[in-house]
């Protein structure tokens, strides 16, 4: 079978809360386009609401300086605001580094029609604790910590009860989320000098990890680690395929090797072979457009992590799986993927999705990364480069993650 596909662009992606619920709601078709499913209603930011939010911000919270997008141009510029007054279980964090995820780009450009401007992006945050509320038990001032994709959940639903808080319908995103515990104010992310979050959504960063290289693990890292654990793709000797070598894929390769697995990178671009094998430690490299190579690898893999967000055929990838093998989709092409029954039924194969990971998974992932010295490959930038970085990210011109030196940018100069 031919495998002529568009360029495989590995792009981290997360659905905004509520997007999944809209799938199936389209009139006339049980299969609305994913792009339609992602079109969330534009929030009505009434004057009253803005004033209410402004009033809340004036009630004694810590002054914060961030960079925000004010409209769908997505251009970021300095923005002064106040963090919420810390609650009993809140941790105040001085932000040191914040990674740039492709989701940030979608949000600041209002691609999902849910931007609540001004938007302060950032959910791959590493920082140091500067203060704790009276009820905080797990952290103290001086601790190095991380905050990922979300800073709240309902803590009472079935998912929360099982520790799968990343699948809670009441999830509160770290950036551009709705802070229910604070009058519905929009949350502002890690492109800022200070953050206040409940200790339940803060993770400890083990000693010895390079903090700039750790920041992307808070989103990209846990997004691949979590499904690897859930589907048993963490056992020595098993064979893992990683589709797309970007922010997510390159970390998946590192985790796979640290688990003792055989790892094969699957890409459209032969130019990434050397990087994959020599620098990231992959065992093999498969060019997805090469029918002979794909045929030779048929039925050899226990699992595949597909990180590609551009539309691409998955049938040839499913053919690489052994019987009962598992593919996990962590990218999200806007056009529906094609899944012919013959690709999964005869081999009893599975196709699953995954959206980031729980706080528990995130902590376990960091412990694992600490033990094996795993960090993302990063390009560290100052905040005043962020708009250029966003332009480059849009073209996937980064190896493999931009990380903002927040403390080094906003600490004194701004």
Residues that bind Zn ion (CB under 5 A): 101, 103, 153-154, 157, 160, 168, 219
Decide whether 157 or 380 has the Cβ nearer to Zn ion.
Answer: 157
Decide whether 144 or 153 has the Cβ nearer to Zn ion.
Answer: 153
Query: In angstroms, what is the minimal distance from the CB of 154 to Zn ion?
Result: 3
Is the peptide bond between 400 and the residue preceding it cis, with omega within 30 degrees of 0? yes
**Closest alpha carbon to 286 in 260, 306, 268, 262:** 268
**Do 373 and 67 contact (CB within 8 A), yes or no?**
no
Query: In angstroms, what is the minimal distance from the CB of 30 to Zn ion?
Result: 27
How far does CA 365 lie from the centroid of its chain? 14
The Cα 251–Cα 224 span in angstroms is: 8
The Cα 205–Cα 202 span in angstroms is: 10
Decide whether 160 or 344 has the Cβ nearer to Zn ion.
Answer: 160
**Do 370 and 209 contact (CB within 8 A), yes or no?**
yes
**Closest alpha carbon to 186 in 31, 334, 49:** 49
The Cα 210–Cα 302 span in angstroms is: 32
Query: In angstroms, what is the minimal distance from the CB of 172 to Zn ion?
Result: 10
The Cα 108–Cα 73 span in angstroms is: 8
Burial of 124 (0-12, 13-18, 19+ CB in 10 A): buried
**Do 152 and 180 contact (CB within 8 A), yes or no?**
yes
Which of helix, strand or coil describes residue 29? coil
**Closest alpha carbon to 357 in 170, 159, 136:** 159
Decide whether 101 or 132 has the Cβ nearer to Zn ion.
Answer: 101
Query: In angstroms, what is the minimal distance from the CB of 200 to Zn ion?
Result: 12
Structural tokens at position 237: 């000797």
Query: In angstroms, what is the minimal distance from the CB of 271 to Zn ion?
Result: 26
Query: In angstroms, what is the minimal distance from the CB of 68 to Zn ion?
Result: 18
Decide whether 153 or 326 has the Cβ nearer to Zn ion.
Answer: 153
Decide whether 101 or 205 has the Cβ nearer to Zn ion.
Answer: 101
Query: In angstroms, what is the minimal distance from the CB of 13 to Zn ion?
Result: 8
Query: In angstroms, what is the minimal distance from the CB of 356 to Zn ion?
Result: 7
**Who's near 216: CB < 8 A, 6+ residues apart?**
99, 101, 124, 247, 251, 376, 378, 400, 401, 403
Decide whether 219 or 366 has the Cβ nearer to Zn ion.
Answer: 219
Decide whether 23 or 154 has the Cβ nearer to Zn ion.
Answer: 154
Decide whether 16 or 186 has the Cβ nearer to Zn ion.
Answer: 16
């Amino acid at each position: 079978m031919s495998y002529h596909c568009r360029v495989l662009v590995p792009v981290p992606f997360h659905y905004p809360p509520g997007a999944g619920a809209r799938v199936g709601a389209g009139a006339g078709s049980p299969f609305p386009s994913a792009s339609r499913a992602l079109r969330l209603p534009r929030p009505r930011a009434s004057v009253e609401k803005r004033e209410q939010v402004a009033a809340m911000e004036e009630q004694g919270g810590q002054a914060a300086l961030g960079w925000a997008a004010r409209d769908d141009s997505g251009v970021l510029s300095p923005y002064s605001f106040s963090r919420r007054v810390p609650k009993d279980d809140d941790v105040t964090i001085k932000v040191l580094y914040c990674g740039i995820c492709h989701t940030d780009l979608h949000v600041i450009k209002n691609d999902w029609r849910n931007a609540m401007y001004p938007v302060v992006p950032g959910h791959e945050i590493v920082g140091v604790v500067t203060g704790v509320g009276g009820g905080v038990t797990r952290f103290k001032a001086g601790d190095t910590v991380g905050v990922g994709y979300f800073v709240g959940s309902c803590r009472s639903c079935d998912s929360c009860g099982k520790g799968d808080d990343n699948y809670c319908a009441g999830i509160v995103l770290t950036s551009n989320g709705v802070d229910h515990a604070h009058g519905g104010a929009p949350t502002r992310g890690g492109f800022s000098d200070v953050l206040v979050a409940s200790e339940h959504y803060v993770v400890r960063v083990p000693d010895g990890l390079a903090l700039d290289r750790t920041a992307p693990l808070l989103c990209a890292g846990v997004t691949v680690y979590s499904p690897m654990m859930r589907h048993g793709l963490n056992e020595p000797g098993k064979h893992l395929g990683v589709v797309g070598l970007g922010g997510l894929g390159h970390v998946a390769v590192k985790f796979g090797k640290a688990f003792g697995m055989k790892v094969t990178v699957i890409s459209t671009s032969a130019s990434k072979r050397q990087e994959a094998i020599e620098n990231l430690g992959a065992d093999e490299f498969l060019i997805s457009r090469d029918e002979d190579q794909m045929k030779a690898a048929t039925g050899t893999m226990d699992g595949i992590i597909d990180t590609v967000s551009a539309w691409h055929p998955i049938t040839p990838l499913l053919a690489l799986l052994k019987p009962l093998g598992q593919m996990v989709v962590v990218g999200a092409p806007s056009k529906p993927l094609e899944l012919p029954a013959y690709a999964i039924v005869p081999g009893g194969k599975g196709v699953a999705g995954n959206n980031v990971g729980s706080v528990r998974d995130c902590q376990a992932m960091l412990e694992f990364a600490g033990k094996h010295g795993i960090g993302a490959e990063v390009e560290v930038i100052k905040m005043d480069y962020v708009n250029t970085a966003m332009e480059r990210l849009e073209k996937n011109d980064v190896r493999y993650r931009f990380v903002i030196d927040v403390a080094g940018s906003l600490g004194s100069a701004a």
